[in-house]
Amino acid sequence: MSHSTPMIEMRQVSKHFGNVIALKEVSLHVHAGEVMCLLGDNGAGKSTLIKTLSGVHRPTRGEIRVAGQPVRFKSPAYALDSGIATVFQDLAMIPLMSITRNFFMGREPTTGAGPFKRVDWKRADRIAMAEMAKIGIDVRDPSQPVGTLSGGERQCVAIARAVYFGAKVLILDEPTSALGVKQASVVLRYIAKARQDGLAVIFITHNVHHAYPVADAFTLLKRGSSLGYFRKSEISREEVLDMMAGGAELESLDAELAEFQHSAASPAA
Amino acid sequence: MTATTAAPTESEDERLAKQATWKRIMRRPELGAMAGALLVLAFFLVAASGTGMFSPAGIMNFMEVSAQLGILATAAALLMIGGEFDLSIGSMIGLAGIIIAVPVVEYGWPLWSALLLAFACAMLVGWCNGYLVNRTGLPSFIVTLAFLFILRGLAIGGCRLLTGRTQIGGLQPHIAHDWLAPLFSGEVATGVFAWMAAHGWIATNFAGNPVVTGIPVSIVWWLGLTALATWVLLFTPYGNWIFAAGGDANAARNSGVPVRRVKISLFMFTALSATVFASLQVMDTGSADTIRGMLKELEAIIAVVIGGALLTGGYGSAVGAALGALIFGMVQMGIFYTGVNTDWFKVFLGAMLLIAVLFNNFVRKKMMEAR
């Protein structure tokens, strides 16, 4: 597996904003059919990293390769054209617009010619409904505003859209962070399915419990540099947690809370 | 117990279907304006009965008022859906009128060349507005407010510099035989009205001519532009981009929508609509005045908001804007017909605006409720 060409690869990528070093010589690679989890605390450089991968920022130094070819993205549109689809944390969904209009935003299917060229909304509705059904979300009315969907469903529309439009690399920025347990599992299940379909997935999160079940590999970021790349077989859930900044702190917090709960519960009983 | 469990599944499905239809109607932006237009219509049918407001001539009267505002409102609606305002259209009307009148009257240009110049200038102004909004990231409120003053000043200053006056009259002889003139002046379907008069369907005057000789060309412009804008919004990719740009410019950009281009073209369209308005007015009156079009930018925004568009962008319709303009025209002329002091018109207008905004907020909340 490690001998084949990675679908996407970063080699010693640095990104400076003025004299602030946001990323320092970060390397990572993801193969097709693999989920790589990018873990890190707030301010670790996760957002800068994905914005660099998706063409929003250009790296100061280093190289990005897609399927072995070095690339330089001038804008997010170029990244999209190379098959890198990013589902941003603040979503690329517009709540007041319908599911179909969101799904095909910027890439509307047309029919007819000349002045009578128009968007084929019937076909668009059908495709949107079918794609949503594939991931197990039953859309009753594709003309309903996206704002009426739950958070998990919205994430799934965004991911389904990326997959439908031929993404080879899927970058998901905190797709589960704002979701409840049930909604998060909908998204996680879909991530697993995307892997099965042969996509290379980069899954950004700070929630190890969401990351561990679906990941094949982990990259840990801390203060702009990589703490290393680990296959899932090399590292346990607890070790991942510990390596993240909050690991030890969370443990002590756990103990503290347990004590607090204990003392609060006894007088009531 | 067992008998009742089987039955509800069917009736429940039925109720769901009904609710979906209801929701779909509730989702249309022009719903409120439609209700408002009917209400205003019913009010004046009673209050202005027997005054001639709803005679053919009366109808043409308020339709023409609505049409003039509607031409501006259509473009303003697209722009507002796209997430921006244009406060400079009123001043653009004054400037365009001068650009048409001065070359024709003072320098003997053929009308068509002056019209072309006016439309070219409008496109430039629209482009400037759009470019500055995109480039600086300033709210369009500020940028176009600046142009409100700049364009008005250019009209007054330029006109006085070239002619020594601020009003230009006497266009009539110059425009009578121009090939572009029928596009902006006169009436259409005059044959139909003559035919209807001959059959006694509409009243005739003492000379046997129909009291209404045709449909003013401004109404044709209004309906045509509304139809075009509706087509664009509902059935073209560009229409989808307008909604997207106004709904969330960042999300739209991330999805590959050319937000800058969309916004610049919308600003150009509002400036062009102001020039259409000016052309109609100059041809109709045979004169131009540097102070024409004052407050039109706000009236257009009122019509658009009454028509159900959200001030924050991403939601609205051209049909709604047309209905908003119709309400505006009916109220303005209706107050005149009912004999109420027209001073009160603006009170009514302000109240309508408030009610429309409150209603829109209510509708949006309903829309966003879970299914």
Domains of chain B: 33-368 (1.10.3470)
Q: What token pair was written down for A223? A: 């203060």
CB contact under 8 A, B243 and A97: yes
- Delimit the domains of chain A by residue range: 8-92+169-256
Q: What is the mean pLDDT of residues B92-120?
A: 94
The answer to whether ipTM exceeds 0.90 is no
CB contact under 8 A, A94 and B251: yes
Contacts of B34 (CB under 8 A, 6+ apart): B323
Q: Which helix or strand (DSSP H or E) is residue B257 part of? A: none
Q: What token pair was written down for B316? A: 């609205």
Which candidate in A78, A82, A96, A107 is best for mutational testing of the B interface (most B CBs within 10 A)? Answer: A96
Q: Nearest chain A residue to B13 by CA: give it.
A: A140
pLDDT for residue A246 is more than 60: no
- Residue B282: pLDDT band by 50, 70, 90 thresholds? very high
CB contact under 8 A, B371 and A106: no
Interchain contact B25–A (C-beta under 8 A) = no
Query: What is the Cα–Cα distance from A233 to A235, expressed in whole angstroms?
Result: 6
CB contact under 8 A, A104 and B315: no
Question: How many CB atoms lie under 10 A from the CB of residue A238?
Answer: 12
- Residue where the block lists tokens 């005057």: B205
Supply the pTM of this predicted model. 0.84
Q: What is the mean pLDDT of residues B273-295?
A: 94
Closest CA to B133 of B122, B123, B141, B124: B141
Q: Dihedral of CA B110/B116/B120/B126: which sign?
A: positive
- Decide if B226 contacts A49 (C-beta within 8 A): no
What CATH code would you report for A8-92+169-256? 3.40.50.300
CB contact under 8 A, A94 and B371: no
State residue A16 phi and psi, 5-degree precision: -110, 140
Q: What is the mean pLDDT of residues B247-263?
A: 89
Which pLDDT score is estimated for B209? 72
Q: What is the mean pLDDT of residues B175-196?
A: 82
Structure confidence by residue, pLDDT tens digits, A75-106? 777 888 888 888 876 667 888 899 999 999 98
Q: What secondary structure letter does DSSP report for B50?
A: T
